[in-house]
């Protein structure tokens, strides 16, 4: 087992465990913190895949901005452990079982997928993940979606105003 593989499995395990912890934590604060850990693990993956730009963006946007927003909200509305509503155990069980069976189905399908057998993920090599390459591609081929996504932000902005205004 090579180092990369060890790192891969470590990161993956870490991400999955943290993800599960997000769900099982009673306190929303804990959940947020666990989620930030998931993001870190994923950023680790990105680095492993030599997608440096995304790794950084992931940390800045997700862990940094989004999660902080979540934290703000949690603090704003002053949630504590007791206020966290509990679902019926049966519904939980049903959720877990159906989610689990979905996972089993999906994984078994992936295991059967012969068309990707020979495909290897290029780790650490390849420089498409660098800002330079991505920037070029983004502002040439993807200029239209890039511009259009501004509409998305505009509407989000308007929306936040509309909703937020007293």
Partner 1 sequence: MKIILAFIVLFPLAGFLVNGLFRNTRSKKSIAYYACSQIFSSFFLSCIAFYLVKNGGSEVVTYFDFIKISNLNISFSFQIDQLSALFLLIITGVGFLIHVYSAAYMHEEEPKHFARYFAYLNLFVFSMLILVLGANYVIMFMGWEGVGLCSYLLVGYWFKNNNYNYAAKKAFIMNRIGDLGFLLAVFWIINKLGTVGYTEVFAKAATLSTFDVTAITMLLFVGAMGKSAQIPLYTWLPDAMAGPTPVSALIHAATMVTAGIYMIARSNVLFSMSAITMNLITIIGLATALLSATIAIKQNDIKKVLAYSTVSQLGYMFLGLGVGAYTGAVFHVMTHAFFKALLFLGAGSVIHAMHHEQDIRNMGGLKKKLPITHLTFLLGCFAISGIPPFSGFFSKDEILAAAFASNPIYWVLGVVGAAMTAFYMFRLYATTFLGNFRGTKVQELHLHESPKAMTYPLIILAILSVVGGLIGIPEILGGNHQLHHFLSSVLTSEKPIHINHNTEFLLMATSVVIAVIAILFAVNKFSKKPELSEAKGLGKIFANKWYVDELYEKIIVIPLLAIATFLKNIVEKSGIDGIVNGVGKYIQYSARQIRLVQNGQVGSYVLFMVLAFIIMILIWVNDGHIYKFLTQLF
Partner 2 sequence: MPIQNYIIVALTLFTIGIVGVLVRRNALIVFMSIELMLNAVNLLLVAFSKVHHGAALAHNNATTVGAEAQIFVFFIMVVAAAEVSIGLAIIVMLYRNTRSIDINFLNRLKN
Partner 3 sequence: MNSIIVSALLGVVMMFSGIFTTNKTIIKNIALIGMLILLVSNIANTYGWCTVDVDVKGMLVFSKFGYLFNSIIFFTSLIYIFLSGNDFADVGNNVAEYFALIFFVLCGVAILSSYNTLLMLFLGVEIMTIPLYILAGTDKKNLKSNEAALKYFLMGAFSTGIMLMGIALIYGINGNFKIEFETTSTIQNFGILLPLGLLFIFVSMCFKVSAAPFHFWTPDVYDGSPSVFTSFMSTIVKAAGFIAFIKLFETHSIQLQTSWKLILPIIIIATLLVGNITAVFQQSVKRMLAYSSIAQAGFMLFALYSSNTLSREGILLYSAAYSFATIGIFAVLIKMKDYSFDGFNGLSKTQPVLAATATIFLFSLAGIPLTGGFFAKYFMLASALQEHKAFLMVIIAVLFAAISVYYYFRVIQAMYFKQGDAETTEITSGFKLGLIVLAALIILLGVMPSILLQWLYF
Residues 105-144 close enough to bind partner 2 by CB under 8 A: 106-107, 110-111, 113, 116-117, 119-123, 125-126, 128-129, 133-134, 136-138, 141-142
Q: What residues contact 58, with CB distance under 8 A and at least 6 apart? A: 39, 42, 43, 46
Which residue has tokens 């730009």? 53
When asked if residue 128 is in the footprint of partner 3 (CB under 8 A), the reply is no
Query: Measured between alpha carbons, how far is 124 from 106 in angstroms, rounded to an integer?
Result: 28
Is 24 an interacting residue with respect to partner 1 (CB under 8 A)?
A: no
151 binds, among partner 1, partner 2, partner 3, none (CB under 5 to 8 A by kind): partner 3
Contact between 61 and partner 3 by CB under 8 A: the answer reads no
Token look-up 């769900």 returns 23
In the 8-state DSSP scheme, what is residue 82? T
Tell me which of 109, 110, 116, 162 binds partner 1, using CB under 8 A: 109
92 binds partner 2, rule: CB under 8 A: yes
Instruction: Give Cβ neighbours of residue 156 (< 8 Å, ≥ 6 apart).
Output: none
Of residues 135 through 164, those in contact with partner 1 by CB under 8 A are none
Member of 16, 20, 69, 158 binding partner 3 (CB under 8 A): 158
Q: For residue 29, give the nearest of 80, 77, 69 by alpha carbon.
A: 80
Does residue 124 come out as left (phi exceeding 0), alpha (psi in the -120 to 50 range) or beta? Answer: left
Least separation in angstroms between residue 37's CB and partner 3 is 20
101 interacts with partner 1 by CB under 8 A: yes
Helices (H), 25-66: 28-48, 52-57
The residue ranges that bind partner 3 (CB under 8 A) are 106, 109-110, 112-116, 140-145, 148-152, 154-156, 158-159, 161-163, 165
């Amino acid at each position: 087992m090579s180092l990369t593989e060890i790192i891969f499995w470590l990161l993956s395990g870490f991400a999955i465990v943290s993800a599960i912890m997000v769900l099982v934590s009673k306190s929303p604060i804990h959940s947020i913190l666990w989620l930030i850990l998931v993001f870190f693990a994923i950023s680790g993956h990105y680095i492993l895949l030599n997608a440096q730009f995304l790794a950084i963006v992931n940390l800045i946007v997700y862990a940094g901005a989004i999660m902080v927003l979540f934290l703000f909200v949690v603090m704003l509305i002053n949630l504590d452990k007791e206020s966290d509503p509990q679902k019926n155990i049966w519904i939980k069980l049903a959720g877990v079982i159906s989610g689990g069976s979905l996972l089993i189905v999906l994984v078994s399908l992936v295991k059967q997928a012969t068309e990707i057998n020979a495909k290897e993920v290029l780790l650490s090599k390849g420089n498409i993940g660098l800002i330079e390459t991505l920037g070029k591609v983004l502002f040439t081929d993807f200029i239209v979606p890039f511009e259009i996504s501004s509409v998305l932000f505009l509407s989000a902005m308007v929306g936040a105003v509309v909703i937020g205004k007293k």
